[in-house]
Structure 1
């Protein structure tokens, strides 16, 4: 009994420690910028969230950044997940030769630090005239997202019964029909899980956003938020915090909306 009480006390203390920064973030983001004293506010003092967000929205091109990141995250994550599903199908179902080698060749993309790509990417993008363009970021985001999505899809496809493929092939189904009519529908939960992971990663990326863009036309939302943070002293902390909360909402909403697909992907079929 005493051990259980101590365990609950420790867990409660850890929860409070985790919630304190979140509480300060919300309270100070809702504090009107004109009434901010310069010190963290512990007690709500007015409701200036939308005014603070409006200042951030107009001062740094945050609105354009949100739209850009929405395009990048949706298109790049979607393309990467489909490519990863095709690669997983080839490795698991089609019994491609050297399956283990192909797995490591693709998955190795998650093991390399992204910083090593920056200089050759910058030079290549300038040479190809796709620097500071939507196409340039869509391409690199899709490429970076493939390895981890492949890891998810390949592991999920290994849980599907082999009898499904064998029965379809006996009925005359080819590889394309197996992939599009059988394995993709059966892998819907894993596809959603992989998409959520990659959408979140692309949305939260700052490294490529500030390296491969220079103008608000193509700049993603985190690069725009970094510009808001650079104006911390002039705009005030409430404006920066309000912007940070606003740009965090899309990934939270996506996860909550697709939560049942995410959870079901953790349960193997068979």
Structure 2
């Protein structure tokens, strides 16, 4: 299934994408795409519906984040071999973990704000993993059974805030609007092997990133297992699994985003995003 949320910010409703690419409204009684709705039982209730019997959503509605109110937005740094190389950094011995604030989460095609004082806003296409069952100290061999689905995440980053202002990476990663998520949550049966997905990103039509998840240092299963050893993962939590080579920081000389530019990005079988970058008020 491809599950989504549509409507104005703060008033989104849950829906699904049918086999003809049309948005169908899910019954309001099922609630939003959050928490228990993303458990195996919650998803099974949606899967039992006949998509063609659901109301068609007319027009071209705004898409919100495919996950409502993620309790945790966990991110992984330096998780692609070529990206570590372009950053002139060694391969990590363990996953690099940081977080985004909940206010970073926006829809896949919403405007992204370049923060006040920013000089080094950068792009990062990433595979997002959405948790479907409570995971605490899970083994790698069992980790994928805790996954509700996958989505596209844009891990927008402000490099000066991240690397030059002291402290942790979080201050350059969690700015408002820095976490576009979606367009939809795709269940594992439609994705297949999460280590065999192509992902790409373009700025104003120029392709900077074009790689596959096969280049990950730590696989999705390893990441779910690893993070669950430090905190309990709950249904609706998101793990963003790192970005491949081709970020702005890695260009020679570095290239950063400016107001008025457009970024497109996508992942095989998970859809595309498109954002206009604007100056924050």
Tell me the TM-score normalized by structure 1: 0.23
The structure that is strand-richer by fraction is 2
Structure with bigger RCO (C-alpha 8 Å, 6+ apart): 1
Query: Which structure: greater helix fraction?
Result: 1
TM-score of the two chains, using structure 2 as the length reference: 0.22
Q: Determine which structure has more spread, i.e. the larger CA radius of gyration.
A: 1
